[in-house]
Each structure stands twice: as C-alpha cells, then as structure tokens.
C-alpha cells in the first residue's frame, strides 16, 4: 500500500499489507480484547477517551502534517480536523454513560427495563477525505459503548490509520481495543464474516456501500452506511446573496471539494439568479490552487489522480451534453493533482452534475422559477445527505425543510457535522446515523429485561 503526496505526485512511503493469517490473528486478539473491555466501567473508558482528546490537541500539528502529506488538504483544515476529533472524544467521554444508562419502562410485568450492551468487534471501513475524523467519529462512540474496533482505512492514508491506532494505545486503552488492518479489498469479506465482528460502518461511495451492505446481509451483521451526497443549496429571492455566495463557495471548495456534505448544486430563484451567479462565480474564482502547506493557499490538490480524472470526465460529459462553463473547468498542468474551481450552468437531467456526486472543486448552478420549483430540484437527486436554504424568512425555510429529502437541513449557514447532532442520510446517501445519542446506539445490543 502506498502513500502518495497529492501536491507533488511523489511516493511518500510503502506500507506492507497484512496477509490473511495476520489479519485473522489480529481479529482473534481484538475479539478477546472486546470480551474483557465490555466489562470495563464507563468511568474507566471515559478517562482513556479524555486522554485521547488531550493527545489530539497537544499533537495536532504533527498529525495535521501527516494528513496534508497523505491526502492534500490545506494544513489549516487538517489541523482543524484533528482538533474536531478531540471534541467528539470529549462528547462521548462526557455523555456515553447517561445516553446508555438502563431505562425503566412500564410494561405488563412487575419490572422491566431496557439496557444497552456492547456487541463485540465493530469494523470501520473509512475513506481518505477526513482520515482522522472519519476514523475517530466512528470509533469514539463504538468504544465508549464497550466495543472494540478494527479499522480498514483507505490505502492512501495508511500513515494516518496507524497514527490513530497508536493514539488509542497511548491514551491508555487496552492493547487490541483499536486495531488497524492494512488489508486489500479481497480480505474484507473474511473480516465481516469473522464471528467476533458484530457490525460494520462504512463511509464512502455508493458502489462500496452496495458491496458492504450485501456482505453484511450475507453474514447477518448490522451495518451503517454514509455514502456521500449531491447536496442542494437553495437561495431564495429574499436571501442575503453575498453571505450565501461567500459561504457557498467556502462550503463547496473546502477539502478541494471532496466533502460529502458540501453544497454541490446551487438552486437560485430567478429574480436574483444573475446577481447570485456573478457573486458565486467571483467568490469561487478567489480560490487559487497551490501548496497546501502555504498559509496563503486557498485550494489544495485533489487526493488522487484517478479522482481528478473522474471529475474531468464528469465535467466534459456535462459540457458535451450542453452545460455552460461559468468558471474553470480544467485540471491544472504540472506536478500534483490540482484542479481549477469550476462552476457549471444549464445543467439538465442525464448530466453527471445532475445525477451524480461531483467529488472535487466543481459546482452546478440551477435557476428555479419559485420556491416550489426549488424544492423539486433539491429533491430530484438520488442522494439525500445535507441541504441548505438561504432566505430572510426563517419560518418559511423551517416549513420547507420538512419537505427536503435529506438527513440534515441548514438554514442560512454551512452544513457541518457536530458531536451532539445526528449525522447521516436517506436515499443513496445511506442509512443509520453517526454522532449524538443516535450514533452510539447503532452498535449496541438494546436489551430488554423483564422481572415477574
């Protein structure tokens, strides 16, 4: 497995894979650790989780450097990612016990209650776009619930995957409660099939989601899928257009556009379409590709050459089918996997920018006749992860939000995940929830106790 620096295209390091025997041995160790760990107290787990948060804060620049080297996001974005990981650790350190404490329920018998018990080993299959956050967002609740975890990370971020494993060890968690598996795809089924593994959480593409869901079904394991989106951002005629354009450009171009909950389809009401188009084009044009370690840079490289090529094909297909280019449109020549910020107009059904996720620095702009038409366009997608509405009439936006097919709706701001709020999608964006009380309850045995 190879880490390649996306800013230069140069190899950083080779990592030897775990073979089938080594993978099986790790799973045995983790299953044994899971049994002991399930009997530990919340207070003990919380002490380790708090220590993990402290380590993440103290060592943020070191880990951020690794993130930027392996997947190319701006160093300041990487530093913010590591610090956000500390927040999710602290959230579950502070709240897991209360969320999972046994709940008495009135029933037909003298005494009954519901408790939340650990399941065993949980597998996380994670992508490269937030190499620390995706791994820790998945692991922190699973571990605070008393499970052990194994992480199969994307092969380009092996350094990050091993660093996260090491952090759990340093924080005081027992050996094998968190293990990283450096395995190719053809070993994934053997991991899901392992009797100690009781669930799998995947963040990634729809293709990967279908495959993992099928394997989880075949082996009867619980699954949670977070599969990206093609998030609409509705801009109504009474909106603060400057704020919408500024925030929209920032949302779309963070992480070089490789963020599942970024606004990707801007849907603007006709009376303000020309004005908003100009504001958004200008705002996006201020993002200039450059060295992700340079504090002045606003747009880093994409994470891999094949991802850049896939984006180029999507853009070209749109243009060949009649879309109009308002900005950018091209890969940047020279070393590294840079791509210009790109804005498309006149996008219609059948085009990739309408039907698919554009996972790079490219957005599509649509004109809606009125709010109802905007709602139709927002929902006319196979995805349903996040959505945004910009308007001066927040009550009307609240009402509209009820009808948007998405896991999160944000009014007059940027969609972001945060530890206390559930995160996930509907339709092809997957199922199940991460974060909050809902996320930690995904991988527990919800046990009924009845006493006569």
Q: How far is the CB of 17 from ligand NDP (least distance, A)?
A: 10
Q: Is 233 a catalytic residue?
A: no
* Interatomic CA distance for residues 72 and 303, integer angstroms: 6
Residue with tokens 């103290």: 58
Write down the catalytic residue from 48, 85, 256, 260: 260
Q: Is 48 a catalytic residue?
A: no
Query: Which one, 269 or 357, has the nearer CB to ligand NDP?
Result: 357
Query: Which one, 143 or 307, has the nearer CB to ligand NDP?
Result: 307
Rounded alpha-carbon distances, angstroms, from residue 279 to 240, 245, 251, 257, 276? 11, 6, 15, 19, 5
DSSP characters over 80-116: HHHHHHHHHHHHHHHHHHHHTS-EE---SSSEEEEEE
Q: How far is the CB of 169 from ligand NDP (least distance, A)?
A: 22
Q: Which of residues 358-377 bind ligand NDP (CB under 6 A)?
A: 359
Here's the x/- map for ligand NDP, 238-277, by CB under 6 A: it reads as ----------------------x-----------------
* Interatomic CA distance for residues 72 and 65, integer angstroms: 10
How many residues form the binding site for ligand NDP (CB under 6 A)? Answer: 23
Q: How far is the CB of 292 from ligand NDP (least distance, A)?
A: 18
Write down the catalytic residue from 79, 226, 269, 356: 226
Strands 362-368 and 342-345: parallel
Query: Which one, 142 or 273, has the nearer CB to ligand NDP?
Result: 142
List 141, 228, 328, 388, residue binding ligand NDP (CB under 6 A): 228
Q: How far is the CB of 379 from ligand NDP (least distance, A)?
A: 19
Query: Which one, 307 or 327, has the nearer CB to ligand NDP?
Result: 307
Q: Which of residues 143-162 bind ligand NDP (CB under 6 A)?
A: 152-155
Burial of residue 396, with CB atoms counted within 10 A of its CB: 0-12 exposed, 13-18 middle, 19 or more buried = middle
Residues 6+ apart with CB under 8 A from 190: 20, 23, 24
Counting contacts by CB under 6 A, is residue 424 touching ligand NDP?
A: no
Counting contacts by CB under 6 A, is residue 125 touching ligand NDP?
A: yes
The strands making up 148-152's β-sheet, listed across from edge to edge, are 178-180, 148-152, 121-125, 197-203, 222-226, 430-431
DSSP characters over 129-159: SSTTHHHHHHHHHHHHTT-EEEEE--GGGHH
List 8, 112, 190, 211, residue binding ligand NDP (CB under 6 A): 211
Residue with tokens 């801007």: 266
List 48, 49, 307, 397, residue binding ligand NDP (CB under 6 A): 307
Q: Which amino acids are annotated catalytic?
A: 226, 260
């Amino acid at each position: 497995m190879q880490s390649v620096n996306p800013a230069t295209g140069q190899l950083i390091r080779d990592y030897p894979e775990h073979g089938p025997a080594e993978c099986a041995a790790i799973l045995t160790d983790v299953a044994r650790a899971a049994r002991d760990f399930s009997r530990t107290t919340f207070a003990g787990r919380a002490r380790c989780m708090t220590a993990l948060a402290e380590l993440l804060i103290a060592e943020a620049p070191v880990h951020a450097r690794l993130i930027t080297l392996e997947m190319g996001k701006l160093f300041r974005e990487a530093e913010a990612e590591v610090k956000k990981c500390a927040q999710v650790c602290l959230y579950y350190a502070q709240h897991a016990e209360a969320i999972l404490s046994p709940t008495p329920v009135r029933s037909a018998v003298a005494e009954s209650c519901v408790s939340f018990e650990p399941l065993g080993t949980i597998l996380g299959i994670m992508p490269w776009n937030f190499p620390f956050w995706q791994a820790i967002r998945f692991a922190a609740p699973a571990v605070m619930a008393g499970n052990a975890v194994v992480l199969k990370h994307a092969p380009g971020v092996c350094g990050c995957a091993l660093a996260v494993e090491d952090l759990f060890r340093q924080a005081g968690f027992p050996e094998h409660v968190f293990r990283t598996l450096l395995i190719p795809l053809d070993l994934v089924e053997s991991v899901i099939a392992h009797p100690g593994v009781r669930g799998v959480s995947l963040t990634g593409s729809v293709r990967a989601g279908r495959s993992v869901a099928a394997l989880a079904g075949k082996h009867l394991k619980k699954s949670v899928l977070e599969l990206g989106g093609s998030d609409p951002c509705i801009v109504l005629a009474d909106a603060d257009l400057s704020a919408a354009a500024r925030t929209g450009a920032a949302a779309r171009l963070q992480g070089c556009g490789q963020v599942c909950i970024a606004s990707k389809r801007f849907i603007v009401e006709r009376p303000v379409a020309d004005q908003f188009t100009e504001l958004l084009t200008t705002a996006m044009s201020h993002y200039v590709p450059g060295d992700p370690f340079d504090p002045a840079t606003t747009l880093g490289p994409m994470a891999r050459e094949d991802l850049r090529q896939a984006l180029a094909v999507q853009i070209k297909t749109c243009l060949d089918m009649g879309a109009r280019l308002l900005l950018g449109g091209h890969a940047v020549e020279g070393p590294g996997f840079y791509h210009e910020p790109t804005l498309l107009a006149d996008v219609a059904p059948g085009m990739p920018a309408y039907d698919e996720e554009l996972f790079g620095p490219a957005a599509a702009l649509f004109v809606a006749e009125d709010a109802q038409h905007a709602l139709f366009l927002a929902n006319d997608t196979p995805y349903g992860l996040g959505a945004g509405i910009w308007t001066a009439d927040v009550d009307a936006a609240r009402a509209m939000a009820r009808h948007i097919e998405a896991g999160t709706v944000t009014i007059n701001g940027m969609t972001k995940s945060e530890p206390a709020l559930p995160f996930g999608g509907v339709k092809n964006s997957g199922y199940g929830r991460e974060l909050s009380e809902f996320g930690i309850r995904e991988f527990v045995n919800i046990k009924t106790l009845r006493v006569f």
